Amino acid sequence: MSPPPPLPLPPLRFRPIFKEKVWGGRKLKRFLEKNIPDARRVGESWELSDHPSAESVVLGGPFDGATLGQIVRQRRDDLLGRSGARAFPDRFPLLFKFVDASDVLSVQVHPTRAYAERHDLAEREKSEAWFVVQADPGARVYRGWAPGTTEPAARRALAEGKIEPLLHSFPVKAGDVIALPAGTVHAIGAGVLLAEIQQTSDATFRLYDWNRPDLDGRMRPLHVEEALAVADFTPSPDTVTPAPLPGFSYDRQRLLAAPEFTVESLRFTGLIYEPPPPGDREEFAILVALSGSGSLLWKCEGERQTEFRPGDVLLLPAILREFNLFAEEEARVLKITPPRLLVATAASDPIGGGGAVEPGGG
């Protein structure tokens, strides 16, 4: 007797992983309906992660209790598509989280691929992008250096404890998109709630921490030499200008097309159809519900339905190809996909090697 066929791989929802931070707050509950523990300063909610320090676990459905890593290993073609499975045989390449900064985060920078390979780091390169979900009046972020800043000037300012004037900062509002390629010095200012998409890496070089102790009362280690060695001092735009996508009956914009991921915004009411990728391309998609409630409609031995509400994150396997979304009242959903360049050039394992690096941002 032949074994039964494998279970169809449906859209996947995961249990959030809450991370308490000295700079965390309560906005994850207020704006995204996250059931965070009382009296805890939760700074991050990891919604989709195949990082070994915090592996996402499926919530509900036939794969309830399985880790994302188990699904990657057992159903990689169905989840990632054939080209994605070849490029990423060991780990899911992207990590998604929500970040609530009630106080400013540390000033930090993430390593580039060249730096990580040259120094054989335990973690690989990390590029990321932010989508501002909510910002208090006057809230700011730090991105890059003030014009004319050089490495010697930054080094002197750090020695004197006067680095902030050399950091470029600007106010943000809901809907802003900020690209942070590896090597970009950055920090989230107080009063900002954002969605973050990044490569699967937790490598952080902490440049400055505002002379603030951590939750345990101790000062966190800094990595000044490593941070300055990888930091890019070239000026670049503050935010990304969205590009409207024609041919749709609803508001659809490309927010970011980076070498590591593409982010689109879908704002719609009623039923919309999401066509399959062009040609024979297969790709997974991450859907992030930011506002409005509705349903994801997909086919598997008949039509199936998965509900979503603000704060929900769904991973759609490549095997699904096409789906519908429905909302009675206006909803806004982010769609995150891997561009061709990611699949074509990715290393076989985005995490690996030896050496030491400070894990955990903030």
- The CATH number for 247's domain is 2.60.120.10
User: What does DSSP assign to residue 57?
Assistant: B
Instruction: State residue 360's pLDDT score.
Output: 61
In a shared domain, residues 252 and 111: no
In a shared domain, residues 323 and 269: yes
In a shared domain, residues 201 and 278: no
Which of 239, 259, 287 terminates a domain? The answer is 239
In a shared domain, residues 38 and 133: yes
What is the residue type of 138?
A: G
The total domain count for the chain is: 2
In a shared domain, residues 286 and 139: no
In a shared domain, residues 274 and 207: no
Instruction: State residue 346's pLDDT score.
Output: 41
Whether residue 3 is contained in a domain is answered as no
Tokens at 272, concatenated: 């919309």
In a shared domain, residues 69 and 26: yes
206 annotated active-site? yes
In a shared domain, residues 231 and 127: yes
In a shared domain, residues 294 and 234: no
CB atoms within 10 A of CB 212: 12
CA nearest to 222, candidates 108, 100, 344: 108
Instruction: State residue 312's pLDDT score.
Output: 98
Whether residue 260 is contained in a domain is answered as yes
Instruction: State residue 2's pLDDT score.
Output: 53
Cα torsion 213, 214, 219, 220 to 10°: value is -140
Instruction: State residue 354's pLDDT score.
Output: 36
Whether residue 64 is contained in a domain is answered as yes
**Residues 322, 302: Cα–Cα separation, whole Å:** 14
Which of 239, 267, 289 terminates a domain? The answer is 239
Which of 178, 207, 239 terminates a domain? The answer is 239
In a shared domain, residues 205 and 255: no
Q: What is the DSSP string of 162-213?
A: --GGGEEEEE--TT-EEEE-TT--EEEPTTEEEEEEEES--B-EEEE-TT-B
Instruction: State residue 7's pLDDT score.
Output: 77
CA nearest to 207, candidates 240, 191, 189, 183: 183
Whether residue 201 is contained in a domain is answered as yes
Those residues whose C-beta lies under 8 Å from the C-beta of residue 231, and which sit 6 or more positions away, are 109, 145, 151, 154, 183, 184, 185, 207
In a shared domain, residues 235 and 309: no
Question: What Cα–Cα distance (Å) separates residue 14 from each residue in 48, 60, 72, 186, 310?
Answer: 7, 8, 14, 28, 15
* C-beta separation of 143 from 238 below 8 A: yes
Domain ranges, residue 162: 12-239
Q: Which of 13, 124, 206, 252 is catalytic?
A: 206
Instruction: State residue 4's pLDDT score.
Output: 56
Which stretches of 56-111 are assigned E, i.e. beta strand? Answer: 94-101, 107-109
**Residues 239, 117: Cα–Cα separation, whole Å:** 29
Whether residue 146 is contained in a domain is answered as yes
Whether residue 2 is contained in a domain is answered as no
β-pair type (167-171, 140-145): antiparallel
Q: Is 26 left (phi over 0), alpha (psi -120 to 50) or beta?
A: alpha
Whether residue 43 is contained in a domain is answered as yes
Backbone angles phi, psi at 64, to 5 degrees: -55, 130
Instruction: State residue 340's pLDDT score.
Output: 58
Residues of the chain with pLDDT under 50: 341-357
Q: 174-187 burial, b if ≥16 CB within 10 A, otherwise e?
A: ebbbbbbbbbbbbb
β-pair type (294-299, 323-337): antiparallel
Instruction: State residue 16's pLDDT score.
Output: 98
Q: 239-252 burial, b if ≥16 CB within 10 A, otherwise e?
A: bbebeeeeeeeeeb
Whether residue 349 is contained in a domain is answered as no
In a shared domain, residues 57 and 199: yes
